[in-house]
Structure 1
Amino acid sequence: MKNLIKIFISLSVVLFMFSCSDDFLDKPNPNQLGESSFYQNEKQVTQAIVGVYGQLQEITASQWLYSEMITDNTTVHFDEGNRGNAPNIESFEYWQYNSGTGRMYDLYRDTYNTIGNINLTLSKLEGADIDANAAAKFEGELRFFRAYYYFLLTQYFGDVILITEPLTDPSAAFELERSPTSEVYAQIEDDLDIAVNSLPNTVPPSEAGRLTKGAALTLSGKFWLTRKDYTKAKAALDLVVSSDVYDLLPNYKDVFDPNNKNHKESIFEVQFQGGNDLGEHSGFIYNFYPQFTNGEVTGFPGVSGGGWNIPTLDIIGDYEDGDLRKAISVSEGYTNMNTGEFVAIPFIEKFRYEHSIQGRPDNNWPIYRYADVLLMLAEAINEQSGPNDEAYGYLNEVRDRADLDPVSGLSQDEFRTILLHERRIELAFENHRWFDLRRTLSAAELIALLTAHGELEKANPTTPRGSVGFSAGDYIFESHELLFPIPNREVVVNPGLTQNEGY
């Protein structure tokens, strides 16, 4: 992992070079590498690929907004004295987002920027002086990432622009049209097939954090679950289990400990490094701490959090009695160091660990872990023919670690309900909730669930609102909001780019 972090830093220089204008002073800089002279050998291609890993840091750092706070899992620590983020970040909490929402554009732009780098690097592989085995592995990594990002895009936006080659003419970007989701899915399937066949089962410790076959199979399983092809989903996930590479850790808390990165349960996690000034820390976790805490939560006197992604009273109440995961995942408040009084502002606990430098935690971020695979397998089996011993085994294996009693004797619908609950609790605040709801519920069921959540929040807000009441449009979820709008900036520069219905 440390080797990857070092390459992230050096690659920032390379990315800067590619962003510079070709006609800068109308003269080439003899001290800089251009696109034509880069990607020549294995070292250079490795730098480019690890740069793609580096871009995953930034994209992951904001996924909580689109995957957690938009749902019934989290909310905002309301600040009546600062309403600057009401039309932007808070718009996702209250379902008031539109095509002009800035964070919507950030999501769209950052994802396509990364896909552009992936396509460029893929196009250079054949002409580079690279060993065939290394080239195959590189292609597998790049294909995984392209599949991963296009999967995100389809889940957020539906039909999207599908592009798999570098753009040599910038003007062509303003003429691209959205492709049907079915065509994008076909490309994802093709990319995942290559990734599964090209990636290694394991990587040496010096390459901890690099992609493996298990990650590609896990994404494949999630992809096929989303498409409701449960036979293919189970086939992919069975291969993860039968690989004997992964297992649940005995202690749930150890899954998130920065001193235990890339462990046995981890299938793929985003690499961060804190405790220094190298710029690779996971400081976004400060977003999740309450405001006005004076250091009681962050551990640094006078330093508060952003007040975003605050656990709702709803999810706190959804933990079963005796569930060991509750105290590890959620704090229901903190003690004011000056008054000694308890302040009932909840916050996410599972990523809170001591660190030596303010704002520079050392946490990695879990993308896929083995518990997710077990629960997806249970889902695939249940959706095929109802629960059987195998499905109960996978579900109860996860519940057993949480010190919960096993479940049995359920109907298919009952099993589906408890499985969605189990995914909510086991994977709480790990950016799975929105996709889980969209995959497992009908549009009508999802609208009903979110509407009920909104009514509860309005009747009994998780955090106090002072003198500011809810607006008339807050917590009104409409069917068109199941997909995000295409950012208005994109539609303006490309008139042929259609907008999603309702926006």
Structure 2
Amino acid sequence: MKNIYKLSIFLCFLAITSCKKDFLDLTDPTRKTADKFYQTEDQVQQAVSGAYSSLQDHVNSQYVFAEMSSDNTTIQLNPSDRGQTDRVEAFEFWNVTATNVNIADLYNQSYNALYNINVALSKIEGVTAISDKKKAQFKGELQFMRAYYYFNLVRYFGPVVLMTEPLVNSSDAFKTVRSPENEIYAQIVKDLTDAAANLPLKSEYTGADIGRASKGAALGLLGKVYLTMKDYPKAESTLRQILPLGYILVNDYASVFDPNNKNNSESLFEIQYQGGNNLGEWSSFIYTFAPRGSDGAVTGFPTSRPTGWNIPTKNIIAEFEPNDKRKVVSLKEGYTNAGGTFVAIPFVNKYNHPHTIEGRTDDNWPVLRYSDVLLMLAEAINEQSGPGNAYQYINLVRSRAGLPGLSGLNQETFRTAIRHERRVELAFENDRWFDLKRAFTNAQMVLILNAHGQAEKAAPTVDRGGVPFTGNDYKFDGYEALYPIPDRQRFLDNNLTQNPGY
């Protein structure tokens, strides 16, 4: 999708200028308002592209909330700079508070994107210079993205503010209340059901449109929503609709993430990036994930200064079975520095590919893959009737990894096998936190995560450079399965309640 650029701020401006004007009711004729902008198919497509562009901003930081809070990754501390203690590091050690800047950014970015999506959806019907088919496609794409944002928000925060229409007056933003989770999920299901009915197949997209949300993407996300809701019959029936749509596993696991193989046969949806130029659409995940001090040993650019965040833990490294082909693709257990010495600091390797400009990689971010669909389908079947008809799906994934198929398990041991398989297959793709929350109660998460925390305290994955643990580090309480509503939002809106425990 090379025609997607940074239109988010511009579109937000268009939306704001369409509201009622207080100052003498004057209109600057040089400014475009939202009403004047949404006139042609090209303008609507620009608005939809702006929504896609906002997904980059969203996914750039998701590893903090969905991987580092889990047992998958940790952080390489910088002893000389402790400025991240109450920011990124707080998620690793479960010390997140309502004043955390990262939480505020997540909340604000999500609702800014949702506002733009709602404005675009409200304007599309009034555009006459566009075919009904194209109009339905654009609406489906926006509904898919709205559902994606709300699905993340409700899993992170629980009850959240639900808005499906643009605000008429800016003062209305200070009168919002949190809707119950069941209402949020009902809207997500409606959006994805409508999107699946109206979006084209992935194969129908060509040229610059490759990578847009498709029918398969909507069904895949809807299947995951039903699985999260523990509505296993609907999860199964939804996921089965994907099987005949032409998706297949890529033979080589490494090529799934290769920038030369973007939007491949296994990809239902991925966030699009474009490196190697000055267009501002590049990714830079490896610069965040490579160990501090590795300089160019990992990135290939000696002047680079990676930050050492999202470091794979000993726990996830040990999760891989012997001879699992996915391990060497997903992570490296160290690097060789410029002096020829091996440094045993692990790092995420999935998004590590050659690139031509320092800091500007070409890696897309996977959101939904066919292997995920197969594992979800196996899980949904097992939860209803045991593993009998589910083996075929999990074993397809294991076979690609070079591992033997499973057999002879009961329902509970198959649950354990699915959790293991999801963890290693989808490692570092921002699924682990949500999988833990779906599979276990808060009380069970307390046991799992505190055991992991104690193991990290006893033998840290990465040397802490003399920085001691505090008494609150690695103490997970059940209420922390939900993140706090940012204090800043509650200050602006007295109607917003806080999650228990914060």
Instruction: Give the alignment's TM-score, normalised by structure 2.
Output: 0.96
Match of 1:223 in 2: 225
1:18: how far off?
A: 4.9
Match of 1:53 in 2: 52
In the TM superposition, what are the counterparts of 1:397-436 in structure 2 within 5 Å?
397-436=396-435
In the TM superposition, what are the counterparts of 1:16-31 in structure 2 within 5 Å?
18=15, 28-31=27-30
Match of 2:260 in 1: 259
Q: Contact between 2:295 and 2:306, CA under 8 Å: does it hold in 1?
A: no
The residue matched to 2:390 in structure 1 has which SS? helix
Question: 2 CA distance for matches of 1:290 and 1:190?
Answer: 43
The residue matched to 2:367 in structure 1 has which SS? strand
1:24: how far off?
A: 9.1
Letter in 1 for 2:382: N
1:294 to 2:295 alignment: yes
CA RMSD of aligned residues (A): 1.6
- Pair 285,334 (structure 1): closer, same or farther in 2 beyond 3 Å: closer
1:466: how far off?
A: 2.1
Letter in 2 for 1:476: K
Q: Contact between 1:11 and 1:47, CA under 8 Å: does it hold in 2?
A: no
Match of 2:344 in 1: 344
Residue by residue over 1:327-347, the C-alpha shift from the partner in whole angstroms, topping out at 9 and shown as x without a partner, is 111110011212x21111100
Q: Contact between 2:7 and 2:47, CA under 8 Å: does it hold in 1?
A: no
Q: Contact between 1:195 and 1:216, CA under 8 Å: does it hold in 2?
A: yes
Q: Contact between 2:286 and 2:299, CA under 8 Å: does it hold in 1?
A: no
1:204: how far off?
A: 2.4
Letter in 1 for 2:108: R
Match of 2:153 in 1: 153
Structure 1 spans left out of the alignment, 5+ residues: none
Match of 1:497 in 2: 496
The residue matched to 2:298 in structure 1 has which SS? coil
- Pair 234,139 (structure 1): closer, same or farther in 2 beyond 3 Å: same
Question: 2 CA distance for matches of 1:80 and 1:246?
Answer: 47
Q: Contact between 1:167 and 1:173, CA under 8 Å: does it hold in 2?
A: yes
Letter in 2 for 1:385: S
Q: Contact between 1:69 and 1:93, CA under 8 Å: does it hold in 2?
A: yes
1:409: how far off?
A: 0.3
Residue by residue over 1:247-300, the C-alpha shift from the partner in whole angstroms, topping out at 9 and shown as x without a partner, is 000000000000111110000011100001110001243111110112111110
Match of 1:237 in 2: 239
Question: 1 CA distance for matches of 2:333 and 2:126?
Answer: 56
1:212 to 2:214 alignment: yes
Match of 2:478 in 1: 479
Match of 2:76 in 1: 77
Q: Contact between 1:297 and 1:304, CA under 8 Å: does it hold in 2?
A: no
Letter in 2 for 1:60: V
Q: 43-52 vs 32-41, which deviates more? A: 32-41
1:317: how far off?
A: 1.1
Question: 2 CA distance for matches of 1:329 and 1:441?
Answer: 25
1:35: how far off?
A: 1.4
In the TM superposition, what are the counterparts of 1:130-149 in structure 2 within 5 Å?
130-149=130-149
Letter in 2 for 1:137: Q
The residue matched to 1:249 in structure 2 has which SS? coil
Question: 1 CA distance for matches of 2:163 and 2:7?
Answer: 28
1:100: how far off?
A: 0.4
1:233: how far off?
A: 0.1
Match of 1:451 in 2: 450
Question: 2 CA distance for matches of 1:190 and 1:393?
Answer: 31
Q: Contact between 2:87 and 2:102, CA under 8 Å: does it hold in 1?
A: yes
Residue by residue over 1:218-272, the C-alpha shift from the partner in whole angstroms, topping out at 9 and shown as x without a partner, is 01100000111100000010001122x2000000000000011111000001110
Q: Contact between 1:65 and 1:89, CA under 8 Å: does it hold in 2?
A: yes
Structure 2 spans left out of the alignment, 5+ residues: none
Question: 1 CA distance for matches of 2:258 and 2:446?
Answer: 36
Question: 2 CA distance for matches of 1:373 and 1:399?
Answer: 14
Match of 1:247 in 2: 248
Q: Contact between 2:15 and 2:119, CA under 8 Å: does it hold in 1?
A: no
Q: Contact between 1:9 and 1:278, CA under 8 Å: does it hold in 2?
A: no
The residue matched to 1:235 in structure 2 has which SS? helix
The residue matched to 1:224 in structure 2 has which SS? helix
The residue matched to 1:36 in structure 2 has which SS? helix
1:439: how far off?
A: 0.5
Letter in 1 for 2:372: D
Q: Contact between 2:76 and 2:291, CA under 8 Å: does it hold in 1?
A: yes
Letter in 1 for 2:216: G
How many residues get paired? Answer: 497
1:363 to 2:363 alignment: yes
Question: 2 CA distance for matches of 1:297 and 1:229?
Answer: 43
